Amino acid sequence: MLKQAGNTVSVEKKEIYDSRLTSGARSGGSNGDKWSQSLQSVFELALESQGPERTARLLEKLAGQLRAAPRGVNTPYVNTIPPEQQAPFPGDRDIERRIKSYIRWNAMAMVVKANSTTNVGGHISTFASSATLYEVAFNHFLRARTENFSGDIVYFQGHAAPGMYARAFLEGRLDEKHLQNFRQELAEGGGLSSYPHPYLMPDFWQFPTVSMGLGPILSLYQARFNRYLQARKLVNWAGEPKVWAFLGDGECDEPETLGAITLASRENLDNLIWVINCNLQRLDGPVRGNGKIIQELESAFLGAGWNVIKVIWGTDWDDLLARDKSGLLIKRMEEAVDGDYQKYSVEPGSYTRRHFFGKYPELLELVNHLSDEQIQRLLRGGHDVRKMFASYKAAVEHKGQPTVILAKTIKGYGLGEAGEGRNITHQQKKLNEKELREFRERFKIPISDDVIAETPFFRPPADSPEIKYLLERRKALGGFLPSRRVAVTPLDVPKLDAFAEFFKGSTSEASTTMAFVRLVSVLLRNPAIGRQIVPIIPDEARTFGMDALFKDIGIYSSKGQLYEPVDRASLLYYHEAKDGQILEEGITETGSMASFIAAATSYATHGVPMVPFYIYYSMFGPQRVGDLFWLAGDIRAKGFLLGATAGRTTLNGEGLQHQDGHNLLHAASIPTCLPYDAAFAYELAVIISDGLRRMYAEGEEIFYYIALYNENYAMPLMPAGVEDGVLKGLYKFKPGPEGKKLKAHIFGSGPIINSALRAQEILAERYDVSADVWSVTSYKLLRTDAIRCQRWNMLHPTQPPKKSYIEELLAKEQGAFVAVSDNIRTVPDQIAPWVPGGLFTLGTDGFGRSDTRARLRRFFGVDAESTVIATLYALAEKNLVGRDVVAQAIKDLGVDPEKMQPQLI
Ligand SMILES: Cc1ncc(C[n+]2csc(CCOP(=O)(O)OP(=O)(O)O)c2C)c(N)n1
Ligand SMILES: [Mg+2]
């Protein structure tokens, strides 16, 4: 029975496949018609013999069974495009094969060479499996930027980088020296970066991809951002660029890869094409040894509403499938798991004959005419240029949905015993002479025996048919790829006086978040750059008081607003519009960050500078999606990141998971990021105004991280001449009173500067101490400047030493220095080595808790009283006051010396 049932299933699948062959209809074509005719006649018979009521009951019962029946979302394990619907391949297959073989060789040679003298690593087998996927795309589809066209956007799989370099070598864009120095970037003359890194190769790479999952999610949001630019008429493209992402099947394990795919179908992103190289292996072994990654991905993508094109079998299989009348071949294809297929790629043809075809005698007969050698060479779809061309063509022509191409390949294809299909192949970096000879023979590389051991690079002469063909193809497609070009007109950014209202101070209380929202509204109204502003929010606009912007500038929605919003009558209604300016991303920090990056690189990608302001819960910033923050540095992003509701004690009620006291440190670790911790509205205005100048007028490829807080207090008037200090990271905000016995200095940042200011009063009134209060806007910038000077001094020991900004500024200051921060102590400690006589730091180390700000600040020891005690203690440490004074202050100020430790370990 079971066997019969199995057969029935496979025969049905065979019928479906056959029907595709004959009618091409995905739904089953004529086969479907037969079924519908049969059901119709049974229905009519029932109606006639049983009457309408009983027929209705019978049908209801059947419908009930249908609802309960399990329904998968898979099509048979064969190519989606049947042979007769396949677009013919327009290229010269022989020349393209030779070009591809040379690229294969050079890609392998650069890794092998590098590892013959160094241990710098590299990957051979990823590109070996995807060479055809890339070559067909390069020769026929990927369009570069030209005067009239913005250029397709291509995310290359990071580990396939050697293949891209090897192609650029044939194109004459790179020379032997570059290839020789693969992964040796510090060698004389420079070298090639391991993976796509725009920071390291700014004229070549556009998009970093090697942290798995980031390329895919960036590509999704990039495709959507392209639509946003068009909807807002910020670009005027003759044709819409396609966004292509090449990724690995193992990479699909990353939540970033699959986690946002419904965005693409929801937004009808038919400008997006993913090519997943299903070589069935990842780093350690099979991706789904016990299952089928292609089928698993197919159901995920079909379920998510994508157009799915499977390219599983090469042309050789078409004949076998056509001749198999029993449906057994498809049944066998479906029975075998990926672990089996990997084994077939490693074993000789005789093994596949015995174990794959041999399971059913009919299948053995089907391949009787093939030698073992021919069986072994039966191509997988991803290695067949004709199949790949047809799938790409179908993808670029598909309307209304994004497309994913699932191409089956063999990892390490062509490496033979050196790694083809082997579990070790991902790490294979060396080939012995025998293996090199085999590789050469297989791909017919004209390299002689006497030099083969040196793995020389091979480039045919410039006038060879191969080079001419390759250059002609790229010319027809607009030029070379990958290629990064920055040709952008500077923006006419507002001068500082445009922000005058923020310098006046206010008696009414406000938070820095409120000041920021106000500042964005000012910028949005600016005639020169208002339209370039891109506010990005992950479902927190109301938290930050940004809902006021909804009505003014609208929330971007490709569908406009199809419903009457419930709050339509109110002033601040939820206003979605086709040309809306706000990107309201929903609850996805990853997606929001991907949007930020698309906007932040628009100056390079499209030559259209955009000014993103991405505001989010500070805790869910760098620590949540730190790898994307890091990537923002590599990709040379420009824009503003606003870590709102920062501060371990300032955001008080939300407790441990929300209270951020350390993301400034994460941000500080990114080389191109300027982290600022602003205390006052005018600081914010000075920082943002200068950021606009540096990034969009001067063209610096940097970005800003600004901590914003939600504590309300009166915003002071800007003291004269502090702009430079605000930008450099430190300035004296309020000197202590004259005529006191003792001198001290308190560094404060963000709202905690108010602890310093109250401590200043107490110290003066009760302890005869004049404490200057300084605002520290950026510990990182002070530190980097100091390190730069220190390093120069070390390397130029006999020359007059340079002094950093902080050293200059504090040189003449006397007394004790204390820092108080709503962040962990490591944040202020960054500058300790350059503070005269050392720095005593108060911070919020340990987990946060829910309570009032007052109690939290006492608990962590960052309130005014704790700051007074710390200042007296720092003075006592210098023997400037007696320890009894400190003991008395602890009593006077009511601080419990035995209170709980916030940080236990
Ligand atoms: C986020 C992240 N985790 C881990 C790695 C290490 N790593 C590099 S390649 C690789 C396997 C990739 O497999 P797959 O995506 O199938 O690509 P293939 O090389 O097979 O084409 C892993 C785990 C990485 N680069 N990024
Ligand atoms: Mg793989």
pLDDT in tens, 622-652: 999 999 999 999 999 999 999 999 999 999 9
pLDDT at 312: 98
Task: Render pLDDT for 309-318 as a digit per residue (tens, 0 to 9).
Answer: 999 999 999 9
Ligand 2 centroid from CA 251, angstroms: 7
Give the residue among 197, 241, 211 at the shortest CA–CA distance from 223.
Answer: 241
Atom number of ligand 1 nearest to Cα 125: 19
Pocket test for ligand 1, best of 111, 124, 125, 212 (most atoms within 8 A of CB): 212
Residue 202 CA, ligand 1 centroid: distance in Å: 24
Counting ligand 1 atoms within 8 A of each CB, the residue from 125, 251, 284, 296 with the most, and so the one to mutate, is 251
Mutate to test the pocket of ligand 1, among 111, 124, 159 (most ligand atoms within 8 A of CB): 159
Contacts with 168 (C-beta within 8 Å, 6 or more apart), sequence order: 174, 204, 480
Ligand 1 contact, 248 CB (< 6 A): yes
CA 854 to ligand 1 centroid distance, Å: 48
Other C-beta atoms closer than 10 Å to the C-beta of 527 total 8
Quick one: which ligand is closest to 248's CA? Answer: 1
Distance separating alpha carbons of residues 264 and 225, to the nearest angstrom: 11
How confident is the model at residue 21, as a pLDDT? 44
Residue whose token pair is 């937004």:
267
The residue ranking higher by pLDDT, 238 or 826, is 826
Give the pLDDT confidence of 545-564 residue by residue, as tens digits.
999 999 999 999 999 999 99
The pLDDT tens digits for 408-467 are 999 999 999 999 999 999 999 999 999 999 999 999 999 999 999 999 999 999 999 999
Q: Whose CA is nearest to atom 3 of ligand 1?
A: 212
Residue 700 has pLDDT above 60, yes or no: yes
**pLDDT at site 62:** 80
Cα atoms found within 13 Å of the Cα of residue 786, Cβ hemisphere only: 19
> Separation of 283 CA from ligand 1 center, angstroms?
6
pLDDT in tens, 243-300: 999 999 999 999 999 999 999 999 999 999 999 999 999 999 999 999 999 999 999 9
* Number of the ligand closest to the Cα of 253: 1
Would you say residue 798 has pLDDT above 60? Answer: yes
Residue 578 predicted with pLDDT over 80? yes
Task: Tell the residue nearest (CA) to atom 17 of ligand 1.
Answer: 248
Which ligand is in closest contact with the Cα of 194? 1
Q: Is 212 in the pocket of ligand 1 (CB under 6 A)?
A: yes
Measured from the CB, is residue 249 less than 6 Å from ligand 1?
Answer: yes
H helix or E strand, kind and range, residue 344 = helix 338-346
**pLDDT in the model for residue 68:** 60
Contacting residues for 66 by C-beta, under 8 A, at least 6 apart: none
Going from the Cα of 110 to the center of ligand 2, the distance in angstroms, rounded, reads 21
pLDDT at 12: 53
Nearest CA to ligand 1 atom 12: 282
Predicted confidence band at 359 (pLDDT cuts at 50, 70, 90)?
A: very high
Closest C-alpha residue for ligand 1 atom 10: 283
**What distance in angstroms lies between residue 408's CA and the mean position of ligand 1's atoms?**
17
The pLDDT confidence band at residue 66, using thresholds 50, 70 and 90, is low
Q: Which tokens in the block code for residue 707? A: 């901590």
CA proximity to 595, closest of 168, 604, 586, 43 = 586
pLDDT in tens, 465-486: 999 999 999 999 999 999 999 9
Judge whether residue 101 has pLDDT over 50: yes
Q: Of the ligands numbered here, which is closest to the C-alpha atom of 419? A: 1
757 lines ligand 1 (CB under 6 A): no
Q: Is the CB of 180 under 6 A from ligand 1?
A: no
pLDDT at 26 over 60: no
Q: What is the whole-number distance in angstroms between the Cα of residue 623 and the centre of ligand 2?
A: 28
Residues 6+ apart with CB under 8 A from 610: 229, 234, 532, 533, 534, 599, 600, 602, 603, 639
Specify the pLDDT at position 210: 97
Confidence category of residue 30, pLDDT binned at 50, 70, 90: very low
- Work out the pLDDT band at 18, boundaries 50, 70, 90: low
With a 6 A CB cut-off, is 279 part of the ligand 1 pocket?
yes
Task: Tell me, using a 6 A CB cutoff, whether residue 288 lines ligand 1.
Answer: no
Q: Give the C-alpha separation, 566 to 145, whole Å.
A: 45
**If you measure from the C-alpha of residue 589 to the centroid of ligand 1, how many angstroms do you get, rounded to a whole number?**
23
* 407 beta partners: 277, 311
Name the region of 647 (left: φ>0; alpha: ψ -120 to 50; beta: rest). Answer: left
Res 20: pLDDT = 47
Supply the pLDDT for residue 36. Answer: 73
The Å distance, Cα 501 to ligand 1 centre, comes to 51
Q: Is the pLDDT of residue 844 over 70?
A: yes
Average pLDDT over residues 670-678: 98
**Ligand 1 centroid from CA 256, angstroms:** 13
Contact 281, 426 (CB under 8 A): yes
Chain segment 108-163, per-residue pLDDT in tens:
999 999 999 999 999 999 999 999 999 999 999 999 999 989 999 999 999 999 99
Counting from 1 in the atom list of ligand 1, the atom nearest the Cα of 248 is 15
Give the whole-angstrom CA distance, residue 230 versus residue 491.
Answer: 20
Question: What's the CA gap between 783 and 789, in Å, rounded?
Answer: 10
Supply the residue whose CA is at minimum distance from atom 20 of ligand 1.
Answer: 282
Report pLDDT for 905: 83
Tell me if 282 CB under 6 Å of ligand 1. Answer: yes
Q: Distance, CA 194 to ligand 1 centroid (Å)?
A: 14
Tell the residue nearest (CA) to atom 9 of ligand 1: 283
- Residue 503 CA to residue 722 CA, distance in Å, equals 11
Ramachandran region of residue 51, left (φ > 0), alpha (ψ -120 to 50) or beta?
left
Q: Which atom in ligand 1 lies closest to the alpha carbon of residue 214?
A: 1
Identify the CA nearest to 208 among candidates 672, 696, 700, 615.
Answer: 672
421 CB within 6 A, ligand 1:
no
Q: For residue 251, which ligand has an atom nearest its CA?
A: 1
Q: Separation of 332 CA from ligand 2 center, angstroms?
A: 23
pLDDT reported for residue 59: 85
Percent of the chain with pLDDT over 70: 95
Atom of ligand 1 nearest to the CA of 277: 21
Average pLDDT over the chain, rounded to whole? 94
